[in-house]
A = this chain, B = another copy of it.
Amino acid sequence: MGDHVTNIKELSERVGLSVTTVSRVLNGKSEQYRISKDTQTKVLDAAREFHYSPNRIARGLKLEKTETIGLIIPDISNPFFASIARIIEQESRRFGYSLILCDSQDDITTENELINLMAERKVDGIILAPVGLNCDHIRGLFQRTIPMVVIDRYFPGTRMPYITTDNYKGAFLATEHLILNGHRHIACIQGLKGITSCTERVNGFKYALKKHKIPIDKSLICGNDFGEENGYLQTLLLLNRKKKPTAIFALGNLISLGVLRAIYEKGLSIPDDISVITFDEHPYSAYLRSPMTTIEQPREKIAKMAVNLLFEGMQSGNGVDDRIAINLEPRLIIRESVKNLNL
């Protein structure tokens, strides 16, 4: 006694019953197959005594489900994605599912490989924060065979269920906040052009200007990457103009990091020399040299809804409803990085 049994066969031999019966008891199908109470306790006791633990690989093969979901994320070290990942992991586990995490490193061919990998590994569902501009590689194929939900971004014109922040509104909120504080000459440093989260933020930005009858200066909408370096370089360029903007709107948390680096490197100060506002709240936002005014995305909601949607789709048997298109409300958090020019 006390030693370990490695599979259900050994266990069945220990209790002198068939593999079939043991399996049934262990899977809670005793009722269904009329296994006597006696046998049940015998099996259960033995399982405990001999430390039986089922082989999920074999199980997965037979059942054609792995109780695993795949999460593909452009950069897990980005706190926005990290906190989303955390919640997705927790929620999935509540359903008894594990997570295969992959980091596409903002690279579309990697993303492609990862999706194939997920397919080979027979994950039961995929949550994807896509990196690319289009989704030819995913569309069709995967919505049919593996339930999938897209987060953070989506692909216009294609039917893939997605859930994201209302980026348009977020950008509008931020921009209007600047305008109400007297800013007219506002720069907007964007992420990768063409992806929805970026386009819509730019649109929200433009709409706010239009609404307040401020002409749009296209040269003030610059940059083309969500990384820190882009924020840094664009800010440097902006600061070197003859007519400097009075405010910078950064369209992502890494961008804003670069903005900060450039501004402080130049020896300028926020908000006295220049105002800054950014997408993405962060634990440190409040404690920065100039506490940052931010647009907070509802990360927890995004994550939870994504998981729930996915599981619905998985259970329904015919994938996630591809008419699903959810835009969640962002929130403006006002701190001190925006100067009131009206005073």
Binds B, one of A78-86, A176-184, A192-200: A78-86
* A76 & B66 in contact (Cβ 8 Å cutoff): no
* A86 & B100 in contact (Cβ 8 Å cutoff): no
Which residues of A from 61 to 118 have beta carbons under 8 Å from B?
61, 66, 68, 75-77, 79, 82-83, 85-86, 89-90, 93, 98-103, 105, 116-117
| A1 contact set on B, CB distance < 8 A | none
| A105 contact set on B, CB distance < 8 A | 90
Which residues of A from 122 to 158 have beta carbons under 8 Å from B?
122
Binds B, one of A36-44, A244-252, A279-287, A306-314: A279-287
Given the known inter-chain contacts A57-B57, A98-B100, please indicate yes or no for A83 contacting B77, CB distance below 8 A: yes
Say yes or no for A121: interface residue by CB 8 A criterion: yes
Say yes or no for A9: interface residue by CB 8 A criterion: no
Which residues of A from 16 to 58 have beta carbons under 8 Å from B?
53-58
Instruction: Encode contact with B along A216-232: 1 for CB under 8 Å, 0 otherwise.
Output: 00000000000010000
| A286 contact set on B, CB distance < 8 A | 261, 264
CB A297 to nearest CB in B, in angstroms, measures: 14
| A3 contact set on B, CB distance < 8 A | none
Residue in B closest to A270 when the chains form the complex, CB atoms = B287
Question: In whole angstroms, how far apart are the Cα atoms of A53 and B115 in the complex?
Answer: 12
| A76, A83, A105, A288: most-surrounded residue (chain B CB, <10 A) | A76
User: How many copies are assembled?
Assistant: 2
Which residues of A from 268 to 291 have beta carbons under 8 Å from B?
282-284, 286-291
| A290 contact set on B, CB distance < 8 A | 289
CB A23 to nearest CB in B, in angstroms, measures: 15
Contact of A289 (CB < 8 Å), options: B56, B77, B119, B288? B288
Say yes or no for A257: interface residue by CB 8 A criterion: yes
Question: In whole angstroms, how far apart are the Cα atoms of A86 and B75 in the complex?
Answer: 7
Residue in B closest to A121 when the chains form the complex, CB atoms = B56
| A56 contact set on B, CB distance < 8 A | 120-122
Question: In whole angstroms, how far apart are the Cα atoms of A166 and B180 in the complex?
Answer: 51
Interface of A toward B, CB cutoff 8 Å = 53-58, 60-61, 66, 68, 75-77, 79, 82-83, 85-86, 89-90, 93, 98-103, 105, 116-117, 119-122, 228, 257, 260-261, 264, 282-284, 286-291
7 more contacts with CB within 8 A, not counting A77-B86, A90-B105, are A54-B120, A55-B61, A76-B89, A79-B79, A90-B103, A98-B102, A288-B288
9 tightest CB-CB pairs across the interface, nearest first?
Answer: A101-B101, A284-B284, A82-B82, A77-B83, A260-B287, A77-B86, A56-B120, A76-B86, A57-B60
